[in-house]
Structure 1
């Protein structure tokens, strides 16, 4: 049974992705910042008969928390097959009267970018023991610099100096990491779920998390012939 760690797994896309992978026969460690709400999510899934899941308490923006999470995982397992860096924050919304500043940018990058790097580095020793290691970084359509140049794009006006750039940086990290571990057979990609109605965006529309998690799961369940170093969305390859 392949082992999966999903950060930000207590609700929304993370929770639905955990549920879907459990249904496919994976053992899922649900990475959650809050142990109480995280355990509640684990209990919910186990009550549905999806018993192969456990809580890993982790705040990806806190190095001490990430280190402790890796140590806790090491007391349970020697191998991690799939890491899904899903935890992310939107940050403060753009306000014409109070423009975003460097503090806002740093706040978002700590979770969306540096958090993913810290988590990956902490769990790489376990991934390196897998026969087929997969790292999936959950990104956004807003990471695409190409799409941001298209005035006809539905999200053309959705520009900020924090959230979108944090995901663009995550994409760049994904490319570099995939190149570094290509010869070891790692499959490392960034995948956007597309417009999803969750607490994250105030349920502003789009498909449900249960619907959009299926495409995310596809890139978590890659085999040895799967792609690496790529950027994917609902329709396949995304423009950088």
Structure 2
């Protein structure tokens, strides 16, 4: 498991394709939105949590579409399939590494996002990071599972989008609600239900992917 994670990290460090694409895309969308609309503070406070997570969702699709690209483009798919390893660990390593990459991207996106929309950081950064962690892991556990399912499809990119967006709708709703409460500096007791939803979804799809990933890539 450790060697798989390290291999994925080295692959991303060599190319930096995923993180650079995510960051540029996320900052661009934030800037476009800030310059295109003359919003007062009340409107910004209302829409900023949802807008932030929509940006994160679209950024995550860039990474999810590339998550198995090294195996496919490098013509190592069949040797990868025949390797004597638990393919559930392959799935988990993909989720973990992509989560690290997306989390770093989120930090780099969040700073200009707050600046462009003039959002004050009086809220709990600790709670915000917790939501980022579980929201990110939920999106990516679903995304990597969908990507594995569509791995050998000729319409992989379209199929991932068609499956990913409906499946991640509960995640985006829960993450948006949690972030809204955090931005409004509400106590955790008022939004712990939404946090529990994120934790549950992340756990369910990580376990599902670990158990079923072997079946998906061989069928």
Query: TM-score, structure 2 length as denominator?
Result: 0.36
The structure with the greater share of residues assigned to helix is 2
Bigger share in strand: 1
Larger RCO of the pair (alpha carbons < 8 Å, separation 6+): 2
Q: TM-score w.r.t. structure 1 length?
A: 0.34
